[in-house]
Structure 1
Amino acid sequence: MYSVLLVDQNKHALNRTKTLLDWKSIGFQVSESTDQFSEVIPLLAEWNFSLIIINMKNYNSSAVMLVHRIRKQHNIPIILIGGSDDFQIARKALTYQVRDYLTDPVDKEALTKSLLTLKKELDFKHTIDSQFYRPQPGKNTNQSAASIIEKVKYYVSAEMNQNITLKKISRLLHFNSAYLGQKFKQHENMTFNEYLLQQRMEKAKQLLKQTDLKIYEVANKVGYTEMDWFYKKFKEYTGVSAKEYRKKMA
């Protein structure tokens, strides 16, 4: 169960959000709530939250400042609710890597969808952490880097059929995307995108050879929804079309 901190300076709206969902049925629980922005940082020091939800309606500037203060100390996911239609405010909030920006009054389906998307990432991060030991203080840098790269490769293998980006993986592992990309290239002697293409094409070759899946099904299995793009990348990688490859391997 993932722990949530609700923050809303309007007590009525705060109570409405608390009772809006059956939180536990989707894997979350509201562990704490506050109607004072000033209480958020102390609460973060006291509790191990998985998510903060902040209603910023009528408090746009102060809410953005709160997010700024949080980001100085924590990488915790943040969902913002309400606020102004002012694009500048929304853009400023997004620079602090908030998870989502929902309108007020918050829609039950929209909030549920946002939470389920986050839960999938939190679940996967937990799986990664249980598969690999976290680097310990005093361990040498090469060993730590190797552990990080193995987590990246594990994600690629497990989520092959999804839209995979280094930015998404970086967020899960709490690393800067450019830094992680640099470390990956140093460790693997290829860029992350080159590795991702290699893994997808090798998996596609395996599926074409060992299964009776239709070619579009193979493409979907390795993360391609645009068939023309899959055909192009497969031919560039193997020198033959997917259909020709299957015949050749039969």
Structure 2
Amino acid sequence: MYKLLIVEDESLIRKRLVYGMDFESHGCVVVGEARDGQEGSELIKKLDPDIVLTDINMPIKDAFDMLEETIDFSYCTIILSSYNEFANAQRAIKYGVTEFIVKPINETELYQAIDRAVEQVKQLHLVRRLSHTELILEKSQLQVKASSEASDEVVRQMLRYVAEHYSEKFIFEDVSRAIGYSAALLHDRFKREVNTTFNDYLNQYRIKKSIELLLKGDKKLYEIAELCGFSEYKYYNKVFKKYIGMSTTEFIEQL
């Protein structure tokens, strides 16, 4: 569930939004309510919501003051506006506001705006996870080479074999038979070209593919281990920690 904050000075409207709407069916849960921009700003800093649904004109601080004070926080904003405020609402564009709901509130329009905001939040979270993952990988021991980068044609075949069969259980003799060269020759040429052993490279490739699945967040760790060719989760976690410098659980917690 994504966290939704309601900021509205009119009590009846605020209570209707907090208690009378089925936001949960649209992937959101109301985590707080504020009567003005001052309270809204404090709750944004405290609760770190994903979506803020806010009126514009409010006492103490209006929506613009609140947005300015929390500009360093990452959330999607839905503006509630009356007809005579709509021109004023255009100011919010510089804060990344893309959704405007005109009062009186039409529930269908509001739910549609919530759905669009949820999609934006998903993209924001994905970008954040990818950026963080890139930083982690830069510090990691992973050095996965693309087959096109290899100058040795035999090594290119070995790299392609890994890309096509990494999810399967196989031994080096299977690679030798598939390519048509002796295991000893393949070991020597691979290490000379890639600067590591075949088994080490295979583990690195499997870890890289497992990170792609971890970022999607729709599979359990033991499923990811199996899909990436590891015989059991404990061994997968051990290999993951060797190259990434942290366990899979620690990696997920940092996303």
* Interval of TM-score (by shorter of Structure 1 and Structure 2): 0.3 to 0.5
Report the structure number with the largest CA radius of gyration: 2
Q: With structure 2 as the length reference, what TM-score do the two structures score?
A: 0.47
Q: With structure 1 as the length reference, what TM-score do the two structures score?
A: 0.48
Q: Which has the higher contact order (CA 8 A, sep 6+)?
A: 2
